[in-house]
Amino acid sequence: MNEEHIKVSVLIPVYGVEKYIEKCVKSLFEQTIQEGIEFIFVDDATPDNSISIIERTLLDYPQRINQVRIIHNKKNLGLADTRVVALKAARGEYVIHCDSDDWVDVTMYEKLYQEALLSNADIVGCNSIHVFKKGETVNKENFLLPKNILLSKLIKRKGVIDGYLWNRLIRRDFYIRHMFKARSRTTLFEDMAVTVPMHALSDKVAYVNESLYYYRRTDDSTMSAELSEGNIRSAVGVLMDLFNTPSLQNWQSEIQYRMRSMLFNRLYPVNKEKAVAWMNVEYKLIKEFGVPLLLNDKIRINLIERGYFRTHNLYQWTSSLFRFQYWKYLFERVMKKSRNIK
């Protein structure tokens, strides 16, 4: 690759996207920014023909050949770690992620980079278009909210701002200096694990009020995570990491709110067996993530006596307000003690 000044590094993880990758790649190679851009594709041991489609499509864009690198993971690492591989390989002033089953407006990276230069921003965001099987919706975000309001709404997911990585151009040295990343094998909230602490540590945020990213929301899109026990556990793990992040101490109540909404605020199936199964998932997650925070045997004994470890006949609680209040009380008590006990 030519030793030119790299303005923007586009980081694209690749796994199981042969149905979509060509559209994504064409939208990248047709960007209006012609020089000073690099495209880093990381093959996460994809089992399909995604990489050969990238290589074949690249032949139609000879001017991009020296701007493209394809890195091959020896084994499947998952999205979070694959993004780290791409980030470490990047050389641009700014970096941006792109999911390989989505696509972008051809002016996206030029517009975000120009705004970054004008505002000397660490983070530059834009709007997106969510593409469903039956139509599209514009997702308009407000990146210019005061930091305390932005973080509160971002964590609680109260509209006006989302935690996606792919619509944020990020100053690379800022990204690397703080090494924002999700824990390995994170399958849900991997973007939030990065963008929330990122916003907490920067006051230099800019915004291009245009819809420049197309987010595929169809059921068979491989980058869209299903709601399962594993994914809920992943999300809770991210939230626990955020709760214990020093720069987010002022937003712990918002993180607790999001945690409760992940675990409790759900419609339970009428079918008894399914209801019991999901409640046992809740129980395992509370036990897995709550118990390590209980550093005092007296507290453990107190919670055991209150039924914290009760496993029998969980179904009878499904329609009970007491059940919700009980779990809520336990969760809040655990989180409170984790702050007070050394």
Domain boundary among 186, 216, 246: 216
- Report CA dihedral (175, 46, 241, 314) to the nearest 10 degrees: 160
Whether 223 is covered by a domain: the verdict is: no
Look at the pTM and tell me if it is higher than 0.85.
Answer: no
H-state helical runs in the chain: 21-29, 50-58, 79-89, 108-119, 147-156, 172-178, 192-200, 229-243, 252-263, 272-290, 297-305, 321-340
Phi-psi region of 120 (alpha: psi -120 to 50; beta: other; left: phi over 0): left
> Residue 132's domain is classified under what CATH number?
3.90.550.10
Give Cβ neighbours of residue 6 (< 8 Å, ≥ 6 apart): 36, 37, 38, 91, 92, 93
Q: For the chain, what is the domain count? A: 2
Q: Are residues 172 and 58 in the same domain?
A: yes
Whether 2 is covered by a domain: the verdict is: no
Give the up-direction half-sphere exposure of residue 47: CA atoms within 13 A in the CB hemisphere.
2
Q: Are residues 210 and 233 in the same domain?
A: no
Whether 222 is covered by a domain: the verdict is: no
Whether 162 is covered by a domain: the verdict is: yes
- Tokens 């209006």 correspond to what residue? 32
Domain boundary among 190, 216, 242: 216
Question: How far apart are the C-alpha atoms of 123 and 205, rounded to whole Å?
Answer: 5
Q: Are residues 179 and 238 in the same domain?
A: no
Whether 258 is covered by a domain: the verdict is: yes
Whether 161 is covered by a domain: the verdict is: yes
Whether 149 is covered by a domain: the verdict is: yes
Q: Are residues 150 and 172 in the same domain?
A: yes
Q: Are residues 22 and 171 in the same domain?
A: yes
Which sign, positive or negative, has the C-alpha torsion 42, 45, 46, 48? positive
Reduced to 3 states, what is the DSSP secondary structure of residue 50? helix
Q: Are residues 204 and 143 in the same domain?
A: yes
Quote the domain boundaries for residue 280: 229-340
pLDDT in tens, the chain (342 residues): 446 799 999 999 999 999 999 999 999 999 999 999 999 999 999 999 999 999 999 999 999 999 999 999 999 999 999 999 999 999 999 999 999 999 999 999 999 999 999 999 999 999 999 999 889 999 999 999 999 999 999 999 887 899 999 999 999 999 999 999 999 889 889 999 999 999 999 999 999 999 999 999 876 544 444 556 777 788 888 988 998 999 999 998 888 888 777 765 554 444 556 656 666 666 676 666 653 333 334 444 444 444 444 433 333 433 344 455 555 555 665 566 555 544
Question: How far apart are the C-alpha atoms of 169 and 69, rounded to whole Å?
Answer: 19
What is the separation of C-alpha 203 from the centre of its chain, rounded to a whole number of angstroms?
Answer: 21
* β-pair partners for 123: 170, 205
